[in-house]
Structures are given as structure tokens and as C-alpha cells.
Copies of this chain bind each other. A is one copy, B any other.
């Protein structure tokens, strides 16, 4: 299968990159499954039902979230009727929506998508290492699902790497999100799981993690309360990772994707050229 994961979409600039590029990429690369992290899609904070629908219409099979999942309160409601929107699995029991789902692709493949929050330097939720074991027991790769994609939304590189090794060989892809900076350590781990510490954001990289830089610069320098954070408005780089899997659901190839905006461009050389 051909999988594309796209990192945290930030604000209007990020959304524009998705709507403009994703349909083309899906066709050009014959993608089987596309997952987008949408936790910052609505002005940098959360996601609305309209945005969620736009992303699905543009070709996404599933939207994941993170610590900003419910910044837009309406998400607490519409997530219950939108099974393709996934919030972190390790939120308290009773949280609206689900943290994992078996998504059926257009071609009928079954892809397990899981969203988890790390705990180092983040608000404390339940153990993601234990939570994934329960999920993978219920939905083993190659048996119940054809591919398994985990969006591990976390700050610390140590936690992301330890998590990935703990599921290596049992999922197709572990991709980190949350730092809003793409990492260059894409690799296939020893037992066959594709891994990238962070997908990076889909947003304007002349910014502070996607937000207009003036306000965060002022806060760091003065430590005083200020005005609202607003997404930066320059053109976005669509950032993510492309993975090809085999019949067992393990990864055979991985490549970074960076299209548009300020960053050095990158895309898989193992699929049809763009």
C-alpha cells in the first residue's frame, strides 16, 4: 500500500496547501491512504467540522488530533458522528470520540489509525505504551488490518523513539507530530516499522511553530502577557512522510515530503514523478 501522512496543519495557510496539493498528490502517487493531523487547522487551535469535511473531501481518509484536539468546542460534538476524526486514545475514559479506528480505504483496504499523546513535557494522560498494546492485541497487523499508522503526538524525542521501538514490527508507521518541525531521521526500523520522529507542520516556516513570530518573540523576551497568537500568513510547506508497505503491512520504503513554502523540497523518488 501507498501511505501518506501529513503533519499538523496550521491555520489558513496550512489549509490552503492541503486543498491545493493533496488532490494532485493522491492521484499522481496513487495513494491508498492519507492521514492528516488537524489539531491546529482552525486558526492554530483545534478543528471545526467544516475544516474536517474539507480535508476528507480533498482526499484524506482520516484526521488525527493532539493536545489541541478540543480547542474548538464544537469538536466535542461532531467527533461523535465522524468516525474518520480520531482524538488521542489515552484521554480519560468518557471523552467524546475514539482514539483508534479501522478505516476502510477507497479500494477496500483496512487501515488501523491510532492517535496517542506522549507524556514527557506534556499534560499527563494515561500510559500510551500500555494503551497501544491493548489496541494492537485487538487489531493485529496483517490479520485484522492491512496497514497500521500511529500518530504519536509528543514533545520528547526519547519518548517517541522508545515508543516506536516498542511497536517495531507490529505496525506500518510510527510518525511523531506536535513539535511543528520536520525531522530528517526517516528510516525503517529493524523489524519493519517505518519511523519519523516528527512529520513537521503544514504551515508557514517563517514563523514560530506556525504562528506569526512577533508575539512569541515578545513573550520570550519580556515574559509579559500580550496579544493573541495568530497563524503566520506566508505560504505553507506541506510536510509529511510517504511510506510503502508490503503484503504483511510492514514498510518497504519511506521518504519525507516537503512541498511548497520556504523549506527544501522533498518527495519520494520511488513513486511516479510529480
> Can you sample 30 A-B contacts with CB below 8 Å?
A70-B224, A71-B225, A73-B225, A76-B224, A92-B127, A92-B130, A95-B222, A95-B224, A119-B124, A123-B223, A124-B125, A124-B127, A126-B126, A126-B127, A129-B220, A129-B221, A159-B220, A161-B216, A162-B213, A165-B217, A181-B183, A181-B198, A182-B183, A183-B198, A184-B184, A184-B200, A184-B264, A184-B266, A185-B263, A187-B263
Binding-face segment, A104-112, A201-209, A242-250: A201-209
CA distance A119 to B92 in the complex (A): 14
Asked if B180 contacts A183 (CB within 8 A), the reply is no
Residue A166 at the B interface, CB < 8 A? yes
**A205: B residues at CB distance < 8 A:** 185, 187
Asked if B155 contacts A121 (CB within 8 A), the reply is yes
* Interface, chain A (partner B; CB < 8 A): 70-71, 73, 76, 91-95, 119-121, 123-127, 129-130, 155-159, 161-163, 165-166, 179-187, 189-190, 197-198, 200, 205-209, 213, 216-217, 220-225, 256, 258, 262-264, 266
| Contact of A182 with B179 at beta-carbon distance under 8 Å, contacts A129-B220, A206-B190 already known | no
Task: Closest B residue to A197 by CB, please name it.
Answer: B181
| Contact of A213 with B120 at beta-carbon distance under 8 Å, contacts A71-B225, A205-B187 already known | no
CA distance A2 to B224 in the complex (A): 35
Asked if B222 contacts A94 (CB within 8 A), the reply is yes
Task: Closest B residue to A117 by CB, please name it.
Answer: B223
| Contact of A258 with B184 at beta-carbon distance under 8 Å, contacts A124-B119, A124-B120 already known | yes
